[in-house]
Amino acid sequence: MKKYLFFVLVLFAAYNVFAQNTESSISQLDNVIKDLAVTVNRKLVDEKVQKVSVSRFVFGSGIVPFGNYMLNQLVQELANTASPYIILPGGTSGAEWIISGEIIQAANVIRVYTRLIRQSDMAIAAVFNSDFERTPQIIQMLALQSGGSSSSSILPDSFEPDSWDNPAVVEIGADETVPVINRSIHEGGDEDFFLIVPEQDGRLTAETTGSMDTYMYLYNADTREELASNDDGGSNTNARIVYNVRSGQRYIAKVRGYSSDNTGNYGFRGFFQQQIASDQFEPDDDFTSAHTVEIGTSQQHTFHYDDDIDWVKFEITQAGRYTIRTRGVNSNSLDTYIELFNADLESIAENDDGGDNLDSRISQRFAAGFYYLKISCLGDDPDQSYTVSITAE
């Protein structure tokens, strides 16, 4: 008997998003569905079914790409068998039996219940279980609604359950091109844990990516001492911590949503920062090595580590009002702090954020003489350049 197969691959375009790196996941799906089709076909033949309809495979109360793929592949496998029944196009009208599916999460697997329902009395004639490994690709196929919008319920990612004792291991990159680890923060106060074990001393950047508002902590993994924390140090509302790490030391980065209402998908990565070469004025870490700034000009210096300090000196030859400024070169958020000393190294003024953004600024009257300026970095990311200038008003 000729079969008529009518169904729409409603998620073909959405599914192609995952195609490049999902060979193993798709192969797993196809093999399990083939086995399922053999079992379902045998039951339909035994029951002498003539007309059957395949309904949706639902996840919760929604339709997801994973369910659509299950439906399409199962229909295709059944249609390719030499069987006496007809697969009806959509709906249940005229069908003697209905095949439907429900997708759930069970521990570390995705389980699909395929039900064979007799239309005459709506009795469940048979149920078959199919289990799939929770790969990142399958998790992503479950997290997207049909049409590509985000699911209203954020799913645990493939690294769950993770904890202090079972963190996701981070491979530290040489720079920010390192691939991210895809994670999700789901409901119920979820927290994600990452183990970082550097093979060299260096300045580590740990950050999240994406559109979710994240908060991050960095700990000594052995003592659980909190070393740093951050809210919006990265791009937009992403968390970012920059910290000097030691070779062989174990660190834990913990990521949560900024509040209990913040759930969603995000990326995590860790990489070493490339150190900026020392500027021409180094060393200038104390007043004895301070370099002279000419009035009316500016000098460019660089902070190289957390507590790096630069000293400069200048001479006022004509008494009057002068303005001292420090400005970040490549960042509008380089947080500088300046302290002014007279020739006897007595502190006479200081400023934190008196300039634009987080720049520092001192404006006051000066008597003729020599002065020293101590410049410190208060930011989390000191490997940046800045300028210092002294101008007459």
Tens digits of per-residue pLDDT, 323-356?
Answer: 999 988 865 567 889 999 999 999 999 999 888 8
Q: Which of 7, 25, 4 is nearest to 15 (CA)?
A: 25
Map residue 105 onto helix, strand or coil.
Answer: strand
Residues 314, 203 share a domain: no
Query: Is residue 174 located within the same domain as residue 243?
Result: yes
Range of the domain at 211: 168-272
- Choose the final residue of a domain: 222, 240, 272: 272
What residues in the chain have per-residue pLDDT under 70? 1-25, 61-62, 89-92, 107, 143-153, 274-278, 305-306, 330-333, 379-383
- Whole-angstrom CA distances from 58 to 54, 129, 141, 378 are 12, 14, 13, 53
Judge residue 65's burial from the number of C-beta atoms within 10 Å of its C-beta, 0-12 exposed, 13-18 middle, 19 or more buried.
buried
Do 301 and 234 lie in one domain? The reply is no
Q: Residue 332: its pLDDT value, please?
A: 57
pLDDT in tens, 152-199: 467 777 777 889 998 999 999 988 889 899 898 988 789 999 999 999
Looking at the fold, whether 74 and 131 belong to one and the same domain comes out as: yes
Number of domains in the chain: 3
Per-residue model confidence (pLDDT) at position 300: 92
Residue 109 and residue 45 share a domain: yes
Contact 374, 338 (CB under 8 A): yes
Q: Work out the angle between the directed axes of helices 23-46 and 136-143 (0-180°, nearest 10).
A: 70
Q: How far apart are CA 240 and CA 259, in angstroms?
A: 17
Backbone phi, psi, residue 258, to 5°: -55, -40
Report which of 389, 376, 373 is spatially closest to residue 313, judged by C-alpha positions. 373
pLDDT at 90: 60
Residue 36: what pLDDT? 92
Quick one: 240 and 139 in the same domain? no
Q: What's the pLDDT score for residue 229? A: 93
106 and 50 share a domain?
yes
Structure-block tokens of residue 122: 């709506």
Radius of gyration of the chain (CA): 32
